[in-house]
């Protein structure tokens, strides 16, 4: 009878059939190793929807089935968590505004300057936080953060900078636009196609070169190679 049982198990394994044991049946390891009574054989049935043979034997023998559990990949998330914990609120804010990684926002002089002027309204000819135009804002930022003295108007700033294409832009370069004839608007490039400027609609803000309004009016970039001449006293175009 014992050989009949093991033959049944072997047939089940080869045919993909599984064996289940009725709940009321109590088969111990000792009985399996010695002698199985006919009444126990009667309580064993072969079913295709039952648990696998290996699992059934494990249940009978009271041996736990060990499942391999993959360890979660926490290294990257832990590193990200540490970055978030160590970044400043201002750093996090400007990373969001520029759609950049927090750790890539490292020019604190730059973001502190922008924050100090954030949302100051646009005013043609204005040079203070009561109202500022585009070239006055750009000139003050370049002087405070990068140490260059710029001409007063957008046209003059365009004239004294080296021409570069859009794909050559890097942080601190100027970006020029034709908003109402010729060079009439200017901003400072930040990275990831973002630039800061004094907008006639939003005041001091950050915008994207991919914005349809600015992408259609983009003239080119300007790179500062050396400190230009003394700034003009006249008001700028927009």
Task: Report whether 134 contacts 198 (CB < 8 A).
Answer: yes
DSSP state of 236: P
Q: What Rg value do the Cα atoms of the chain yield, rounded?
A: 37
Cite the beta strand spans of 18-149 per DSSP E: 18-21, 44-47, 127-128, 131-132
Cite the beta strand spans of the chain per DSSP E: 18-21, 44-47, 127-128, 131-132, 162-164, 174-177, 185-191, 194-199, 203-208, 218-223
Reduce the DSSP state of residue 183 to 3 states and report it. Answer: coil
d(CA 185, CA 173): 14
134 annotated active-site = yes
Residue of 158, 197, 204, 221 with catalytic role = 197
201 annotated active-site = no
Residue of 105, 134, 145, 186 with catalytic role = 134
d(CA 114, CA 134): 13
**Long-range contacts (CB closer than 8 Å, 24 or more residues apart) made by 164-172:** 164/220, 164/221, 164/222, 164/223, 165/220, 165/221, 166/209, 166/218, 166/220, 166/221, 168/221, 168/223, 169/221, 171/107, 171/110, 172/142, 172/145, 172/146, 172/224
Pairing mode, if any, of strands 185-191 and 162-164? unpaired
Catalytic residues: 134, 185, 197
């Amino acid at each position: 009878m014992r050989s009949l049982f093991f033959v049944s198990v072997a047939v089940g394994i080869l045919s993909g059939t599984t064996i289940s044991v009725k709940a009321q049946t109590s088969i111990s390891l000792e009985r399996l190793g010695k002698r199985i009574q006919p009444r126990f054989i009667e309580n064993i049935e072969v079913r295709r929807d039952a648990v696998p043979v290996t699992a059934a034997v494990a249940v009978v023998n009271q041996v736990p089935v060990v499942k391999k559990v993959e360890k979660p990949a926490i290294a990257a998330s832990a590193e990200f968590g540490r970055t978030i914990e160590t970044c400043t609120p201002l750093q996090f804010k400007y990373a969001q505004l520029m759609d950049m990684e927090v750790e890539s926002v490292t020019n604190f002089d730059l973001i502190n300057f922008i924050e100090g002027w954030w949302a100051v309204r646009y005013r043609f000819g204005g040079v203070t936080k009561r109202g500022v135009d585009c070239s006055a804002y750009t000139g003050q930022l370049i002087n405070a953060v990068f140490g260059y003295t710029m001409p007063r108007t957008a046209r003059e700033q365009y004239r004294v900078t080296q021409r570069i294409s859009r794909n050559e832009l890097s942080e601190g370069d100027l970006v020029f636009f034709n908003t109402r004839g010729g060079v009439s608007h200017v901003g400072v490039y930040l990275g990831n196609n973002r630039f800061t400027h004094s907008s006639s609609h939003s005041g001091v803000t950050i915008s994207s070169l991919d914005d349809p309004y600015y992408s259609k009016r983009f003239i080119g970039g300007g790179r500062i190679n050396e400190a230009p001449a003394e700034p003009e006293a006249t008001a700028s175009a927009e």
